[in-house]
């Protein structure tokens, strides 16, 4: 025997409508059950079952059975919702009309049950089907009274209450349906608005998360409601974060700034130093809802980062200006140098005149060197990184450096083990090491192994190799270390102050970093950190 599959449930109808229809059937089962129980306990009364008790009792029993059996299709959600709703309402009309007939007609008050059924159908029904239900109900009560008039010779004056009852059927069905439709439209608008609000909240979350500034949201009681990751980078890690954490518990300095702002909402920005990170910060407060007492959104800016950006803009403009000036200086400088060389070749020069010409020559060379370094500032973006075997490169560089600078090879000590290949512009790396080694040779003791080049795996995160250049000289005074990489800063009388600055800029152009670190013994130690990015 072939067994067919059950039909698929109605998936297009919202779950709320099925639940409402289920509650409607529970109401029907309760009413019919009350009729059966009251008839069994008390028998027919003057109102219910007075004219035909047997019919009233049988209809009540069938009403209970029907209400029980329809739970099966309700659970299966088959057939479709509209079919089930129509079946329920039409069954109510039939059963209630028979109960009315057995109880003396519309004067028994049972017709009010039809109003309830029509109201329920109007709440969950769609379209104008509810008007059809009202028409069927009106037709049923009119036919019931017409039967009384024709068969039992009842007075025709009773048509007026029945007609008014029919008008009530249509009015109830239409009003309830209109109100339900507007309610559903309002729910749809609310759902759409909730989706828009949720999307807006997600967008706000993404914006706050990706902002360069810290964002902290506090309520009127100073409790932290929201913050982004940058906030913890600026103020320190928030462990553990709780929705009821107070700003005073997390950052007393910021809480004091917030209190001052609440006293003077138009006081502008507040500056403070975060004890956990040591960063100088600037706080900007925006009231929630225009009232500082309701809460505030706090924007935190890192003054160090702002100053660094300003310095970058200033140096970029300065680089363009100095490059233009350098181009203008080179031509007259070359003429002065050439004229000085010609004058030095004169045979009858005196000692003082020759000394003055040598001073001119030394200073023109110094200016020429400065011009070359200034022009290199605009070439940092022309890096062409390539894979470099650091051990072979450093060994060849030291040999070349000692030959050109006429320095004994024994003055250098190498400690370069086989390491991963680094990605760097070969000419740029040569220039950086040349600058660092020249400084090291200038300040070292001059003994064997006074300058040391060492390469090893990097200890810092996001870097793979570190190359250090150190010497055994007096080192760099702690007071001037913050200015080491500033342009035109130098402690040497013949220096230009651009060597270390240019070296650092070149390293940044190649994705590396140049820093100053303490040596193992008195002396200076500069470190180049290479990233493991592919070329």
CA distance 430 to 45: 113
Phi, psi of 412, rounded to the nearest 5 degrees: -105, 140
- The position carrying tokens 């200015």 is 483
As given in the structure block, the two tokens for residue 355 are 């000394």
CA distance 439 to 462: 28
Give residue 6's pLDDT band: very low, low, confident or very high (50, 70, 90): very low
CA distance 523 to 472: 5
How much is the pLDDT for 330?
A: 74
pLDDT digits (tens, 9 = 90+) for 153-203: 888 888 999 999 999 999 998 998 888 888 888 988 988 898 888 888 888
Q: What is the three-class DSSP state of 300? A: strand
CA distance 480 to 483: 5
Q: What is the three-class DSSP state of 328? A: helix
| Mean pLDDT to the nearest integer, 289-304 | 86
How much is the pLDDT for 4?
A: 42
The more confidently predicted of residues 147 and 486 is: 147
How much is the pLDDT for 243?
A: 56
CA distance 365 to 500: 19
Give residue 1's pLDDT band: very low, low, confident or very high (50, 70, 90): very low
pLDDT above 90 coverage of the chain, percent: 28
Residue 387: its H or E element: strand 386-388
| Mean pLDDT to the nearest integer, 372-378 | 62
| Mean pLDDT to the nearest integer, 453-467 | 87
Helix, strand, coil tally for the chain in percent (to 5)? 60, 15, 25
In the predicted structure, residue 315 carries a pLDDT above the cut 70:
no
Give residue 420's pLDDT band: very low, low, confident or very high (50, 70, 90): confident
Relative to beta strand 412-416, strand 451-457 is parallel
pLDDT digits (tens, 9 = 90+) for 329-374: 777 878 888 888 888 888 888 888 888 888 888 778 777 766 776 6
How much is the pLDDT for 101?
A: 92
CA distance 398 to 449: 12
How much is the pLDDT for 378?
A: 56
In the predicted structure, residue 65 carries a pLDDT above the cut 90:
yes
In the predicted structure, residue 239 carries a pLDDT above the cut 70:
no
In the predicted structure, residue 32 carries a pLDDT above the cut 90:
yes
pLDDT above 70 coverage of the chain, percent: 87
């Amino acid at each position: 025997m072939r067994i067919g599959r059950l039909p698929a449930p109605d998936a297009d109808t919202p779950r709320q409508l099925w639940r409402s229809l289920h509650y409607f059937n529970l109401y029907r089962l309760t009413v019919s059950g009350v009729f059966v129980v009251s008839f069994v306990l008390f028998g027919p009364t003057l109102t219910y079952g007075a004219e035909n008790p047997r019919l009233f009792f049988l209809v009540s029993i069938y009403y209970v059975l029907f209400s029980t059996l329809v739970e099966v299709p309700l659970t299966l959600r088959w057939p479709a919702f509209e079919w089930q709703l129509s079946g329920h309402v039409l069954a109510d009309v039939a059963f209630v009309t028979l109960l009315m007939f057995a109880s003396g007609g519309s004067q028994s008050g049972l017709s009010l049950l039809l109003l309830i059924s029509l109201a329920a159908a109007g709440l969950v029904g769609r379209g104008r089907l509810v008007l059809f239900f009202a028409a069927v109900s009106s037709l049923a009560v009119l036919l019931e009274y017409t039967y009384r008039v024709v068969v039992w010779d009842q007075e025709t004056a009773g048509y007026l209450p029945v007609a008014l009852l029919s008008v009530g059927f249509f009015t109830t069905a239409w009003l309830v349906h209109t109100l339900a439709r507007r309610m559903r439209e309002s729910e749809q608008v609310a759902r759409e608005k909730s989706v828009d609000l949720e999307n807006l909240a997600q967008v706000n979350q993404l914006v706050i998360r990706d902002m360069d500034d810290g964002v902290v949201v506090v309520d009127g009681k100073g409790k932290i409601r929201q913050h982004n990751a940058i906030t913890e980078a600026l103020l320190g890690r928030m462990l553990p974060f709780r929705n009821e954490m107070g700003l005073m518990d997390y950052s007393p300095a910021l809480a004091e700034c917030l209190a001052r702002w609440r006293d003077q909402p138009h006081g502008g920005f507040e500056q403070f130093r975060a004890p956990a990170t040591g960063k100088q910060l600037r706080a900007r407060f925006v009231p929630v809802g225009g009232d500082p007492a309701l809460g505030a959104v706090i924007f935190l800016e890192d003054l160090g980062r702002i100053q660094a950006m300003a310095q970058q803009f200033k140096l970029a403009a300065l680089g363009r200006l100095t490059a233009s000036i350098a181009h203008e200086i080179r031509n007259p400088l070359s003429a002065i140098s050439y004229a000085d060389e010609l004058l030095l070749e004169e045979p009858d020069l005196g000692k003082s005149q020759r000394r003055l010409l040598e001073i001119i020559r030394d200073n023109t060379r110094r200016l020429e060197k400065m011009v070359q370094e200034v022009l290199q500032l605009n070439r940092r973006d022309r890096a062409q990184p390539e894979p470099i075997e650091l051990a072979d490169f450093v060994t060849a560089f030291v040999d070349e450096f000692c030959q050109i600078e006429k320095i004994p090879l024994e003055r250098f000590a190498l400690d370069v083990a086989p390491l991963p290949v680094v990605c760097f512009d070969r000419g740029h790396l040569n220039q950086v090491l040349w600058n660092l080694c020249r400084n090291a040779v200038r300040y070292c003791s001059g003994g064997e192994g006074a300058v040391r080049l060492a390469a090893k795996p990097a200890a810092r995160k996001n870097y793979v190799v570190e190359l250090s250049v150190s010497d055994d000289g007096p080192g760099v005074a702690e007071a001037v270390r913050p200015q080491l990489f500033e342009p035109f800063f130098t402690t040497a009388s013949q220096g230009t102050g651009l060597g270390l600055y240019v070296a650092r800029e070149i390293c940044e152009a190649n994705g590396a970093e140049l820093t100053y670190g303490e040596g193992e013994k008195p002396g200076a130690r500069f470190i180049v950190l290479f990233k493991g990015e592919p070329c």
